[in-house]
Structure 1
Amino acid sequence: MALVITDETPPAGYERLVHVEDVESGLDAFICIHSTACGPAAGGCRMWNYASLDDARRDVLRLAEGMTCKNAIADLGLGGGKSVIIGNSRTDKSEALFRAFGRAVDSLGGLYYTAEDVGITPDDMAIVASETPYAVGLNSGAHASGDPSPFTAEGVFQCLRVGAEQVFGSADLTGKRVLVQGLGHVGMALAEKLHAAGAVLIVSDLNQNAVKRAQTDLGAEICSPEEVFSQQMDIFAPCALGGILTAETVARLTAKVVCGAANNQLATPDIAGHLRARGISYLPDYVVNGGGIISVAGEIHRRGENYRRERLAGIAERIRRILALSQSSGKTTTEVASDMVADILAQASSRRVLA
């Protein structure tokens, strides 16, 4: 049976939602394009064992919207999109599956660029790229950017230091208790940077091999996922999946700064107000974790290392500006960031109409 690509009716404000199936390879995926106002949509592909089709659909919609915000505020000339593959990334991968996914991406004719996200490696993306030129984050090629995780981790680390400076009066992390939730590629890279900076590490992950490595190599304390919000900490760095900050978890949170790589950390938008009311400085995730897409954007636009370096340095300054505006206006940091994105998208839409 051939690859089946079905256009679904996207929610208001979205441009396209595609369900992709390939029975032979076992591919079951969604590709979502939220906005192309600033340019072709770009966003990683996540492989996750979703409980249902509806769960996968909800996730790709949230993630695609987040990529619009992330790409716009980082001034990358890219719109927002995302894809998710339903499956276990440890047991369900195959060359046929990624080839089928590549053909699905290619069918969109350049409206969407894909790259690595949770559960996907550069080797996987290389297979996707054998079927389409719209797969990036590759290890080889004239403008290859490789795994975006180190860039994401560096951006988060620099923003975390800005947050510490604002709250504690110094960017020096020596002795600060930092809990890193999630030790995937980004979380582990961030933990290594924090350890080198003198922070006291607490880590949590379901992957016991990763936890043991952090304990052995980085001297990290370990807590179970259920104990995360009962820990004493100065800084919380969520680097796993989203939706972990709820009214209940925020009420228990002891950290004074939240800065992590996870997407969609707030379960609902009003949680930003809960954090502010408790005196917790929240650094908006789609600003903080933009390092990975900056790296990928360099590949898409065929630019050199300077392009990545300059834009990566801009992440921390952007967070500094957001924190200052939040303090002076009384708005939450998410409201300030959302206002910035809205202005950027409005200007981009106007230019597109006039063109």
Structure 2
Amino acid sequence: MTAPWNYPDFDDHEGVHLFRDAASGLTAVIAVHSTHLGPAAGGTRFWHYPDPADAITDALRLSRGMSFKNAMAGLPMGGGKGVVLADSARIKTPEMLAAFGRAIDSLGGRYVTAEDVGMTDADMVAIARETRHVSGLPVAAGHAGGDPGPTTAYGVYLGVKAAIRRGLGKDSAQGVHIAIQGVGSVGGGLARLLAADGAKLTITDADMARAIRMAAEIGAKHISPSEIMGIEADVLSPCALGAILTEESIVGLRVPIVAGGANNQLATQADADRLHARGILYAPDYVINAGGIINVALEYLGHGDRAEVEARVARIPERLEQIWAESAATGAPAATVADRMAMRLIGRG
């Protein structure tokens, strides 16, 4: 097995922890990228990887992104990520969740989890029986916390509208053609908000039945997943899994704006240059999709209500504008500008 520090995505991570609990069937990775600003916060992903090494790559990439996301959101939290490896049937058991809770607890508070792809707030409740270092738990109305998906969707919605203003010179999404890749918790929430604004929506999802249902609900057009990256539209909004902006896919883009909620949209750093060279306005993913972590971080820290969450999420467009302005002034890609800002904030600039 390749040592984690030999992976291309290893970025001076403070720790990469591998866990195996034979009794429950748990196999998991927790990557701690940075605790410079506070405990490493980031959700746990439950996913099936045909090659288990890809789970480590995911944890490395996602934890680095969480360091940047938390720093740029002004949170006193570092960056980490958990990945629980699912079998091909994606069977998740109470025993597995309990074992993962014990794994988190063994790190002594250096890592704080919440739900991500494949995890729910009910799963967080199960994990919380074994450790207090968990957020995204069900909360009373008016409090910070709970499922981060809707808050992430709202932040992405604000960011998409900021991109429309910057890239198209329009103050509204009405009539703007937006192609959304993935209509799960985040993409679906985004689609509903944009539909209410009168946007022209084309959507897709790996689960086409879900895409068809969503299209019928909001009056959108649905297409196959293979078509979405080449569609001619005003905005492409990736809201599924990452690494979809590659050398090959960027050549085929027919949009002036890419702004969506997926993590790690760029397959490589060179792809930031490729987008910039094509004149495509890019909203760095860990800036635009910070709404969810703002929500669950304030829950964990115990000093935020819904009003505070919404006030912080409302600043996402301002941060994007700062990045785009510096990009325009310096000629550096927006993703590179954002990375430089984040690196300074975590003491690595």
Q: Same fold (TM over 0.5)?
A: yes
Structure 2 distance, partners of 1:321, 1:233, is 25
- Asked if the contact 2:114/2:135 (under 8 Å) is kept, the reply is yes
SS of the residue 2:254 aligns to: coil
Structure 2 distance, partners of 1:171, 1:335, is 27
2:310 alignment counterpart:
309
2:165 alignment counterpart:
165
Amino acid at match of 1:19: L
Q: TM-score, normalised by structure 2?
A: 0.94
Structure 2 distance, partners of 1:207, 1:9, is 32
2:282 alignment counterpart:
282
Amino acid at match of 1:125: M
Structure 1 distance, partners of 2:11, 2:309, is 33
Structure 2 distance, partners of 1:49, 1:256, is 34
Amino acid at match of 2:12: G
1:336 alignment counterpart:
337
Amino acid at match of 1:96: E
1:124 aligns with 2:123: yes
1:155 alignment counterpart:
155
Amino acid at match of 1:335: T
Structure 2 distance, partners of 1:62, 1:78, is 17
1:106 alignment counterpart:
105
Alpha-carbon displacement from aligned partner over 1:185-220 (angstroms, at most 9, x marks no partner): 111001101101111111111213311221211111
1:180 aligns with 2:180: yes
Greater shift in the superposed pair: 141-150 or 75-84: 141-150
SS of the residue 1:216 aligns to: helix
Amino acid at match of 1:114: T
Shift of 1:226: 1.1
Alpha-carbon displacement from aligned partner over 1:10-41 (angstroms, at most 9, x marks no partner): 44511011111112221111001000001110
SS of the residue 1:346 aligns to: coil
Shift of 1:320: 1.0
2:22 alignment counterpart:
23
Structure 2 vs 1, CA of residues 144 and 129 (structure 1 numbering), >3 Å: closer, same or farther?
farther
1:253 aligns with 2:247: no
- Asked if the contact 2:11/2:33 (under 8 Å) is kept, the reply is no
Structure 1 distance, partners of 2:140, 2:216, is 36
Structure 2 vs 1, CA of residues 89 and 78 (structure 1 numbering), >3 Å: closer, same or farther?
farther
Structure 1 distance, partners of 2:225, 2:4, is 37
SS of the residue 2:108 aligns to: coil
Q: Structure 1 unaligned segments of length 5 or more: list them.
A: 1-7, 350-355
Structure 2 vs 1, CA of residues 246 and 12 (structure 1 numbering), >3 Å: closer, same or farther?
closer
- Asked if the contact 1:47/1:89 (under 8 Å) is kept, the reply is no
SS of the residue 2:80 aligns to: strand
- Asked if the contact 2:208/2:224 (under 8 Å) is kept, the reply is no
Shift of 1:296: 0.8
Shift of 1:153: 0.6
Structure 2 vs 1, CA of residues 61 and 299 (structure 1 numbering), >3 Å: closer, same or farther?
same
Alpha-carbon displacement from aligned partner over 1:118-177 (angstroms, at most 9, x marks no partner): 010101111001110001100047966110011101111101111100111113111111
1:321 alignment counterpart:
322
Q: TM-score, normalised by structure 1?
A: 0.92
Shift of 1:304: 2.3
Shift of 1:259: 0.6
Where do 4+ consecutive residues of structure 1 move more than 3 Å?
8-12, 88-91, 140-144
Structure 2 distance, partners of 1:130, 1:89, is 27
Shift of 1:89: 9.0
Q: Percent identity?
A: 43
1:135 alignment counterpart:
134
Structure 1 distance, partners of 2:324, 2:36, is 27
Structure 2 vs 1, CA of residues 12 and 190 (structure 1 numbering), >3 Å: closer, same or farther?
closer
1:222 alignment counterpart:
222
Greater shift in the superposed pair: 83-92 or 315-324: 83-92
Amino acid at match of 1:14: H
Structure 1 distance, partners of 2:101, 2:139, is 17
Structure 1 distance, partners of 2:100, 2:115, is 13
How many residue pairs get matched?
341
Aligned Cα RMSD in Å?
1.7
Structure 2 distance, partners of 1:286, 1:12, is 17
Amino acid at match of 1:290: A
SS of the residue 1:237 aligns to: strand
Structure 2 vs 1, CA of residues 236 and 9 (structure 1 numbering), >3 Å: closer, same or farther?
closer
Amino acid at match of 2:317: A
Structure 2 distance, partners of 1:67, 1:90, is 28
SS of the residue 1:105 aligns to: helix
2:33 alignment counterpart:
34
Structure 2 distance, partners of 1:155, 1:229, is 23
SS of the residue 2:192 aligns to: helix
Amino acid at match of 1:328: A
Structure 2 vs 1, CA of residues 280 and 12 (structure 1 numbering), >3 Å: closer, same or farther?
closer
Structure 2 distance, partners of 1:339, 1:208, is 38
1:189 aligns with 2:189: yes
